[in-house]
């Protein structure tokens, strides 16, 4: 499953009310289905999105909350994906990050798959939260052949 970027805060009310989708996505992730989410997808997989004065519950796969800041972050990114991370066939990557949010209350035992040489990531030049076989990052990766092969291989191993 691939959950791309976008602006989930705009549709947060509808996303919050779609309980069956939130439960299904979380259940599939916990079952080990390969899942890659970037930026808006990462935000959707957190516990909540706060936009203005409204806090909306999201899928809750990651122990973190998204807060809209109104301040744009725009950077190129470059880094390495750690061995053993989901979709780890591609060891290095390039991309960009573009968002108006930050993650708060990120659990101290959260696992990060990416160390950035360039860019901010989620926290302290770390990006790519990991849970089960899910990789979710603020970064929008420029997919090269190695990343695509690694994701398809991961999906093939999972297929039933």
Report the pLDDT value the prediction gives residue 88, as an integer from 0 to 100: 65
- DSSP structure class, residue 82: P
Residue 50 phi, psi (nearest 5): -105, 120
Mean pLDDT of 30-55: 97
Q: How many residues does the chain have?
A: 160
Report the pLDDT value the prediction gives residue 147, as an integer from 0 to 100: 80
Domain that holds residue 96: 2-158
pTM of the model: 0.94
Mean pLDDT of 125-154: 90
Give the residue numbers annotated as catalytic, written as ranges.
Answer: 39
Report the pLDDT value the prediction gives residue 148, as an integer from 0 to 100: 81
Residue 103: CATH number of its domain? 3.40.50.880
> How many structural domains comprise the chain?
1
């Amino acid at each position: 499953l691939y959950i791309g970027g976008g602006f989930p805060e705009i549709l947060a009310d509808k996303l919050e009310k779609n309980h069956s989708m939130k439960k299904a996505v979380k259940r599939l992730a916990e079952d080990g289905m390969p899942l890659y989410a970037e930026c808006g997808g990462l935000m959707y997989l957190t516990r909540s999105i706060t936009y203005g004065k409204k806090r909306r519950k999201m899928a809750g796969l990651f122990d973190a909350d998204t807060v809209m800041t109104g301040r744009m972050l725009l950077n190129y990114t470059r880094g390495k994906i750690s061995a053993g991370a989901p979709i780890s066939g591609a060891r290095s990557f390039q991309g960009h990050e573009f968002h108006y949010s930050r993650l708060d209350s990120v659990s101290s035992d959260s696992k990060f798959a990416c160390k950035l040489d360039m860019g901010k990531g989620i926290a302290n030049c770390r990006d790519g939260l990991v849970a089960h076989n899910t990789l979710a990052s603020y970064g929008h990766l420029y997919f090269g052949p190695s990343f695509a092969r690694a994701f398809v291989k991961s999906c093939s191993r999972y297929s039933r």
